[in-house]
Structure 1
Amino acid sequence: MRQPSGFVDSHRPTHVYKLQRSLYGLKQAPRAWFQCFSQHLEHLGFVSSHADSSLFTFFDGSVVLYLLIYVDDILNTGNSTDHIARLIQQLRVLFFMKDLGPLHYFLGMEVHRTATGLHLTQAKYITDLLTRTNMLDCKPISAPAISGRRLSLSDGEPLSDITEFRSVVGALQYLLFTRPDIAFTVNQVYQFMHRPTTVHWVAVKRILHYLKATPNHGIVYKPSSFQLTAYADADYAGDPDNHRSTGGYCIFLGDNLISWSSKKQRGVSRFSTEAEYHQLAYTAAALSWYRTLFRELHLPLAPPRIWCDNISAISVASNPVYQQRMRHVEVDYHYVREKVTRHELTVGYVSSVDQLADLLTKGISAACFTFLLSKLPVRGLPVSLRGSDKPVSHKNKDVLSFFAQDVHSYSYIAN
């Protein structure tokens, strides 16, 4: 630290100023800004969410307002346009804010209104990525992974320059916000960031070929019921290097896909039932978090249900007679059994053919991939919707319809 040129104090040239407040651009600024903003919201009657610190809720009789903040970008929605307008005026007393109008673009995600709800895509992001990698004119393919093929550390020759590989895989990670169909393949190539080979780079290019075929695909959200359901699956000992299993889940609120995961499990499972049971525990923990979140949003939820295609894992979750066989399993994995016993969770059987989480655990054939993808709310954007600002009708007044109709975005501008 030194005094700036032209403003040196001749009497104390070695002294520097101690900041009493954070300045925009310093590493302490985001924390100070969030603290200031959240305190003002709480003064206005908002309550910070325990499940997500960036979410604030306001309830006053029949009035419901939700506010979500990410650094200096803000989303605001509710069932009263008058209260929303009043809130913005109150915030502008202390903060200089720009009203960006109805939600169209947020953190790289494009939001398109349809006749029934919202369609979230990252089409521009995909186009920019294909352009940057010189893959804009590549041949499109129908599936991002080869059926039955798992990548290994020993595959291929080490890349001479790993910079591009890391850059592209990092960019693909951001696409997972709206593209669950590539979650498994991106997770697989991400495991080789430290030592990528030519085979791993070919796998990355295959993902880009698939994105070329589906640039406008994204998640569709529409008003639906408040029933939490999940699909959980595990690919037993699928990793050829350390024999760990890959687990995946997808969580639905009604017909809307709200969460998904594809991740290698922490330890090695002795048999397939153990791997599936571990995945049930991971999924149950995720469902518990969502139940806490929706409870804070004052949304009534029935006990959620997990669909699993392994009968033995379902029996372990509900029948203590399997304790002898599973006694080596860590205690925290029996979390799901406790939930089932308390009737806070139910576990049901689903055929492997209809197991949606199968998409997140292994590479499958193009036909199976297309079939399972058709069961997920991942759709291409109709051409007729491009550039359309036509508002949807207000026939359905449930809480989910707020997000489809009255979401506004704002940007805080430092002065």
Structure 2
Amino acid sequence: MPNLDSISQFLGLLIIPLETSYHLSQTLYATNLLEKSGMKDCKPVLAPLPTKLPTLIENSAPYQKPEFYEQLVGSLQYLTITRPDLSFAVNMLCQHMHKPYNLMFRLLKRVIRYIQGTLYSSLPIIPSSLEPPAYSDSNWAIDTTTRTSVTGYCAFLGTNLVSWCVKKQTTVARFFY
């Protein structure tokens, strides 16, 4: 197998070599997403979702362009490869791909505004030990109307984040007497 020199880009991922580490970034992909969504010059926000999420999403009117919603959310899914900070928001948006509402599209636009403000974020890969620590957390039945829970985990290889997941799921409570 020939040596093709050092890698700089692979499947839309920019690999930025530094003196003692590498950084994985999807800046070009995020910029294309901003252009595709028509929000290239939008005002950035500090968090991908508001602190208090609306509970009655179904009371909102259905979004008129569901294909556009699906395209943008699908693009966001690919962006989570190097952006664990988007995982929860993208998971929540994906749960409404079958029938998006105007409220969900407004939340999607907020996530895109967050991307505008964090366009140059990257995932560092730093030489470290091969110890595999992992962390998890659950918040049981946080949503009082739907009784859904949020569970997440992250796994490291030394100090490098290698796997993460955040998902919202229905809680089934059974009481035995």
Q: Same fold (TM over 0.5)?
A: yes
Q: Is the 8 A contact 1:151 1:188 kept in 2?
A: no
Where 1:132 maps in the other structure, the secondary structure is helix
Structure number with greater Rg is 1
Q: Is the contact made by 2:57 and 2:103 (CA closer than 8 Å) also made in structure 1?
A: no
Question: Shift of the alpha carbon at 1:239?
Answer: 4.6
Q: Is the 8 A contact 2:14 2:24 kept in 1?
A: yes
Confirm or deny: 8 A CA contact 2:80 2:86 kept in the other structure: yes
User: Equivalent residue for 2:171?
Assistant: 268
Partners of 1:137 and 1:165 in 2: CA distance: 19
Q: Counterparts of 1:100 and 1:151 in 2: how far apart (Å)?
A: 53
Structure 2 counterpart of 1:188: 92
Q: Which runs of 5+ in 2 are unaligned?
A: none
In structure 2, relative to structure 1, the CA distance for the partners of 1:142 and 1:261 (3 Å cut) is: same
Cα gap change, 1:151 to 1:169, in 2 (>3 Å): farther
Provide the secondary structure at the position in 2 that maps to 1:157: coil
Once the two structures are superposed, the pairs formed by residues 302-321 of structure 1 within 5 Å of their partners are: none
Of the three residues 251, 267, 272, the one matched with 2:155 is 251
Aligned pairs, number? 176
Aligned-partner SS, 1:187:
helix
Report 1:132-151 matches (<5 A): 132-150=36-54
Deviation string, structure 1 residues 343-383 (Cα, Å, up to 9, x no partner): xxxxxxxxxxxxxxxxxxxxxxxxxxxxxxxxxxxxxxxxx
Cα deviation, 1:247-302, whole Å, max 9, x if unaligned, reads: 1011111211111001133x52439xxxxxxxxxxxxxxxxxxxxxxxxxxxxxxx
Cα distance in 2 for residues equivalent to 1:189 and 1:152: 15
* Partners of 1:115 and 1:151 in 2: CA distance: 48
Q: TM-score, normalised by structure 1?
A: 0.40
Match for residue 171 of structure 1? 75
Structure 2 equivalent of residue 103 of structure 1:
7
- Give 5+ residue unaligned stretches, structure 1: 1-87, 90-98, 272-324, 328-415
State the AA in 1 paired with 2:108: V
Greater helix proportion: 1
> Which residue identity does 2:35 align to in structure 1?
T
TM-score by length of 2: 0.91
Q: Aligned in 2, Cα 1:104/1:152: closer, same or farther, shift over 3 Å?
A: farther
Q: SS where residue 33 of structure 2 aligns?
A: helix
Amino acid in structure 1 at the alignment position of 2:42: C
1-structure distance, mates of 2:69, 2:55: 15
Instruction: Pick the aligned partner of 2:29 from 104, 125, 130.
Output: 125
Which residue matches 2:63? 159
What one-letter code is carried by the residue in structure 1 that aligns with 2:162? I
Contact 2:140 2:171 in 1 (8 A): no
Match runs of 1:9-408 below 5 Å: 88=1, 100-150=4-54, 152-239=56-143, 242-265=146-169, 267-270=170-173
For the aligned residues, what is the CA RMSD?
2.0
How far is 1:161 from its partner? 1.8
Where 1:141 maps in the other structure, the secondary structure is coil
The Cα shift of 1:240 comes to 5.7
Q: 1:135 to 1:254 in 2, by over 3 A?
A: same
